[in-house]
Amino acid sequence: MTRVTLAQLDPTIALGPLDGRYRADAAPLVDHLSEAALNRNRIHVEVEWFIHLADAGVVPGTRALLDEERAHLRSIVTGFDQETISQLAMFEAVTVHDVKAVEYAIKEALSHVGAEDLSELVHFCCTSEDINNLSYAVGIKDAVETVWLPRAAALIDALAAMALELADVPMLSHTHGQPATPTTMGKEVAVVVHRLHRQYDRIAATEYLGKINGATGTYAAHAVTVPDADWPRIAQTFVEGLGLTFNPLTTQIESHDWQAELYADVARFNRIAHNLATDMWTYISMNYFTQIPVEGATGSSTMPHKVNPIRFENAEANLELSCALLDSLASTLVTSRLQRDLTDSTSQRNIGVALGHSLLALNNLVKGLDKLAINTAALDADLDANWEVLAEAIQSVMRAAYLQGVPGMDNPYEKLKELTRGHRVGREELVEFVRGLGLPEPETERLAALTPATYTGLAADLARAKGRAWRERSAG
C-alpha cells in the first residue's frame, strides 16, 4: 500500500521540534535568527551602507539623496513582510545567490521612486561577506539582548527569590553523596545564583564585531575606485553606526572569534543551569521538594500517583543539545581556510537552533521551579538522623582549645573519628562525649546545645546577601 508522504500532505509540518512541538518557546528567536530575519538584516545593512555613502558624498559625481528616497529605502526594512520574502525568493531563483537577490530587490525599490541613477551605489565595493557578517552580528546581538538575556534573567530572578525565601531552611549537605556539614537550602540556591550571575554579566558584555573591507579585507576595490577617501574610517563609522564593534583587520570574512567567545559563555551558562536541573531532580527524588500538581495533568500513563519532574528533565536534555551545537559552532567558526571558505555559511544557519534549545530549557526551569514546595519535614528528618555531622564542630572547638593550652585536647580529629566513623551516634552520645572533654564551660554548653539544624554557620546570611545583590543589580 502506497502512503502519502507527510511533506506532500502538508509542507508546513516541521522537521524539528523547535518549529513544531516547542514552537511557542522558540518563536521569539524567529524575528532575529531565521532565514527571513537574515534577509531583512541584509536589506538593512545594504540600505544603510547605500545611505552612508550617499549622505557623505564618498563617490564623486553622485548626487545627494532625497528625503523621500531615503525614507522609501528604509521602509523596505520596517515594512518587511511576506510579499518581500516572496520577492527575494523570486530574485534568488534567478541569481542562485541570496545576497545578489537582496541587491536586485533594493535596485528595484530605487526604480519605484525614480532613483535609478543611484542604483550602482547599492552593494558598492562589497563582497557578500561584508553584508553577511554584519547581518548576522545585528541578528545575534538582537536575539541575545532582547530574547535570551531576559529569559536568563528570569531564571536568576526565580532562583534569587528562592534563595531569600529558603535562606533559613536547614538542610543536610551531601558531599560525595554522603551526609556532611549542614547548610540551608537558600544558601545552596544562592550558589547557583552567583554562578549564573557571573556568566550573565560576561554574556551581557559581549562585543559584536563587524567589518566591511572588501573581497580580501584590503579595501582594494575601494582604494582603486576612490583613492582619496579614508576607507577604514568610513567603514568604522558605518559598522559602529549599526551598533557593532569595528574589526579593523580581517580576511574576506570577519573572523568570528567574538561568536566563539559568546557561544562558549552561553554554553557555560547552560552547563551551570544543567547542574541546577540535575540537583533539583535529585532533591525531588529525596523528597526535599514536593511538586505542586497541575490541574488535569497526567504524571504517568499507568501510575496515577506520580508527578514526574519533567520540566527539569526537559531542561537537562535541551541544555545538552544546545551545548553540543554551541561547542560545534565555537570550534568551527574560528577556522577558515586561507582567505575564505564557506563552512561558516551553513554553520551559522544553526545559531537560532542552538539558542532555541537553550531558551526552551530556561523556560522549563522557570516553570519547574515555580511548581516546587519545600518539604521541611523531610529535611528535618534527615538532619535528625545524622548527628555525627557535628563531629566537625566538636573537633574544631577542641583544636582551638588545644592551641589555648587547655589540657586533654590533643588529637581531636582522631578522637571524633573513633567516636563517629562506621556507626551512628545520636544526641545523647555526642552530649555525653562533649561534657566529658573538660572544655571550658561556655564552649561545653555551646556544643551541647548545638544540633544539626542549627549547625549551618553563615549560610542564611550568605543566601540573603546574594539574593539581595542580584535584585539590586536587576533593579539598577
Q: Determine the straight-line distance between the first and last CA of the chain, rounded to whole angstroms.
A: 66
Residue entry with cell 550573565: 200
Residues 348, 231 share a domain: yes
Residue 239 and residue 237: Cα distance in Å, rounded? 6
Given this model, what pLDDT does residue 413 score? Answer: 80
pLDDT, tens digit, 9 for 90 and up, residues 34-73: 999 999 999 999 999 999 999 999 999 999 999 999 999 9
- Identify whether the C-beta of residue 259 lies closer than 8 Å to the C-beta of residue 140: yes
Residue 38 and residue 33: Cα distance in Å, rounded? 6
Residue entry with cell 549547625: 455
- Tell me if 215 is assigned to some domain: yes
Residues 367, 350 share a domain: yes
- Tell me if 20 is assigned to some domain: no
Residue 210 φ/ψ, nearest 5 degrees: -150, 160
Q: Which of 334, 355, 376 is the last residue of a domain?
A: 376
Per-residue pLDDT of the chain (476 residues; tens, 9 = 90+): 678 888 888 888 888 999 999 999 999 999 999 999 999 999 999 999 999 999 999 999 999 999 999 999 999 999 999 999 999 999 999 998 999 999 999 999 999 999 999 999 999 999 999 999 999 999 999 999 999 999 999 999 999 999 999 999 999 999 999 999 999 999 999 999 999 999 999 999 999 999 999 999 999 999 999 999 999 999 999 999 999 999 999 999 999 999 999 999 999 999 999 999 999 999 999 999 999 886 655 555 454 455 789 999 999 999 999 999 999 999 999 999 999 998 999 999 999 999 999 999 999 999 999 999 999 999 999 999 999 999 899 989 989 989 999 898 898 888 878 887 777 788 998 898 889 888 999 999 999 999 999 999 999 999 999 999 999 987 87
**What CATH code is carried by the domain that includes residue 44?**
1.10.275.10
What is the count of structural domains for the chain? 3
CA torsion angle 181 186 192 193 (round to 10): -140
- Tell me if 203 is assigned to some domain: yes
**What CATH code is carried by the domain that includes residue 437?**
1.10.40.30
Q: What is the pTM of this model?
A: 0.93
- Identify whether the C-beta of residue 26 lies closer than 8 Å to the C-beta of residue 19: yes
Q: Which of 376, 395, 415 is the last residue of a domain?
A: 376
> Nearest Cα to 76, choosing from 16, 122, 33?
122
pLDDT, tens digit, 9 for 90 and up, residues 72-123: 999 999 999 999 999 999 999 999 899 999 999 999 999 999 999 999 999 9
Residues counted in the chain: 476
**Domain region containing 429:** 387-449
Residues 179, 144 share a domain: yes
Residues 432, 288 share a domain: no
DSSP 127-179: -HHHHHHHHHHHHHHHHIIIIIHHHHHHHHHHHHHHHHHTTT-EEEEEETTEE
Q: Cβ of 314: how many Cβ atoms within 10 Å?
A: 19
Half-sphere exposure of 242 (CA within 13 A, CB side): 36
Round the CA-based radius of gyration of the chain to a whole number and report it.
Answer: 31
Residues 424, 282 share a domain: no
Residues 35, 170 share a domain: no
CA torsion angle 91 94 99 102 (round to 10): -20
Residue entry with cell 588529637: 411
Residue 465 and residue 450: Cα distance in Å, rounded? 25
Residues 417, 366 share a domain: no
β-pairing verdict for 245-246 and 209-210: parallel
Residues 211, 72 share a domain: no
Q: How far is CA 166 from CA 35, 184, 373, 451, 461, in A?
A: 45, 7, 11, 19, 11
Given this model, what pLDDT does residue 287 score? Answer: 97
- Tell me if 254 is assigned to some domain: yes
- Identify whether the C-beta of residue 332 lies closer than 8 Å to the C-beta of residue 347: yes
Given this model, what pLDDT does residue 303 score? Answer: 46
**What CATH code is carried by the domain that includes residue 220?**
1.20.200.10
- Tell me if 281 is assigned to some domain: yes
Residue 464: strand, helix, or coil: helix
Active-site residue, from 86, 285, 300, 474: 300
Residues 62, 202 share a domain: no
Given this model, what pLDDT does residue 302 score? Answer: 52
Backbone conformation region of residue 287, classed left if phi is above 0, alpha if psi is from -120 to 50, else beta: left
Residues 237, 93 share a domain: no
Residue 269 and residue 134: Cα distance in Å, rounded? 26
Which grid cell sits at 294?
A: 497541575
Task: Look up 176 and say whether it is catalytic.
Answer: yes
Residues 181, 79 share a domain: no
Residues 148, 108 share a domain: no
Classify residue 122 by its DSSP letter.
T
- Tell me if 271 is assigned to some domain: yes
Which grid cell sits at 360?
A: 526552551
Given this model, what pLDDT does residue 294 score? Answer: 67
Q: Which of 77, 98, 126 is the last residue of a domain?
A: 126
Which grid cell sits at 403?
A: 592551641
